[in-house]
Amino acid sequence: MMIADKFDVFLFDLDGVVYIGPDPLPEAVESLRRLRKKQKGIRFLTNNPCTTREKTAKRLRTLGIEASCDEIITSSWVTAQYLSKENIKTAFVLGDQNLKWECQQAGIDIQDQVDVDAVVVGWDDQVSFHDIKKAASMIEKGATFIATNTDKTFPTPEGPSPAVGAIVEALRVSTAKEPLVIGKPYPHMFKEALRDFHPSSQAVMIGDTPYTDILGAHQAGIPAILIADNDFKPYPSARDLRNPDVVVPHLKSLFDDNINIKPSVTPSFSWPDNIKAGVAGIIFDKK
């Protein structure tokens, strides 16, 4: 059975799956149109905190992809929802106007001079040492430390640029406090994405990054499809949750009768954030 017929709900990462920069990826527009025709549930999940749900929906529609605001799950919006749910009233936001706007829509008062309930880390190329120092002191005084994501870099024409994770790390090492992380691979965005669907619906995640999209889906108990070239090398351990259930070159493969997906196993233990290769030595000795 083709993958498109096997699931009720399709969760899409955006950058590298649906579009790259200003252009849609090959087969993305047509494949999404075909899923709509089959009346499938569709959600778009992006870790990018420098956008709003409305802007993302508009961007997709500009590319010829049907999308409503309710179908967009950004780390900025989910962060704002989290703050509101946790009864956080004031926040210092290290991030751009889009993240601040989503927080304000959720009723959060953005402050930068007084003590706040939370420090929220997004991304802004104007973030200064002064801002980091201020945020660190607020965290030291008890503000909840919240990260929109912990992505290490993002691609630019000049090469990889430090991303949200770089700012988070500066605060983590200087305060010795661990952040609460909203974005993939953590569960918040997956929970929001599935909220409107019946618990018995079969969902699948489609992404291009093993350590966010694939790991996050598997931790949430959802099978995961990796969009990648033929040169993807699986992680050595078959139980490594970053390994996808199937690798496909583009979204058209969802409609290929010859491409199957093996059901994933719900993890029974929590997976460490950082997995490092190790070497063990065993010495055999007569004694």
In the complex, the smallest distance separating the C-beta of residue 112 from Mg ion, rounded to whole angstroms, is 31
Q: CA-to-CA distance for 103 and 207, rounded, in angstroms?
A: 26
Q: In this chain, which stretch among 75-83, 94-102, 204-212, 276-284 interacts with Mg ion, using CB under 5 A?
A: 204-212
208 or 245: CB nearest Mg ion: 208
15 or 131: CB nearest Mg ion: 15
13 or 245: CB nearest Mg ion: 13
Touching Mg ion, residues 13-42 (CB under 5 A): 13, 15-16
Q: In this chain, which stretch among 86-94, 131-139, 201-209, 232-240 interacts with Mg ion, using CB under 5 A?
A: 201-209
Q: In this chain, which stretch among 51-59, 69-77, 127-135, 206-214 interacts with Mg ion, using CB under 5 A?
A: 206-214
26 or 107: CB nearest Mg ion: 26
Interface mask toward Mg ion for 153-192; x: CB under 5 A:
----------------------------------------
- Let me know: does 108 contact 80? Beta carbons within 8 Å: yes
207 or 223: CB nearest Mg ion: 207
Strand ranges inside the chain, DSSP E: 9-13, 19-20, 23-24, 41-46, 72-74, 90-94, 109-110, 118-121, 144-147, 153-154, 161-162, 180-181, 203-207, 224-227, 246-248
Q: CA-to-CA distance for 255 and 203, rounded, in angstroms?
A: 16
Residue 129: C-alpha distances to residues 133, 134, 181, 231 (Å): 6, 9, 22, 40
**Judged by CB under 5 A, how many residues of this single chain contact Mg ion?**
4
53 or 184: CB nearest Mg ion: 184
Helices (H), 38-128: 53-62, 75-85, 97-105
177 or 252: CB nearest Mg ion: 252
What the block records as the tokens of 252 is 């058209």
Label residues 9-47 b or e (16+ Cβ within 10 Å = b).
bbbbbbbebbbeeeebbebbbebbebbeeeebbbbbbbb
Interface mask toward Mg ion for 222-261; x: CB under 5 A:
----------------------------------------
Q: In this chain, which stretch among 5-13, 24-32, 144-152, 221-229 interacts with Mg ion, using CB under 5 A?
A: 5-13
Size of the chain in residues: 287
- Let me know: does 36 contact 42? Beta carbons within 8 Å: yes
**Of 102, 124, 192, 208, which lies in the binding site for Mg ion, with binding defined by CB under 5 A?**
208
Residues that bind Mg ion (CB under 5 A): 13, 15-16, 208
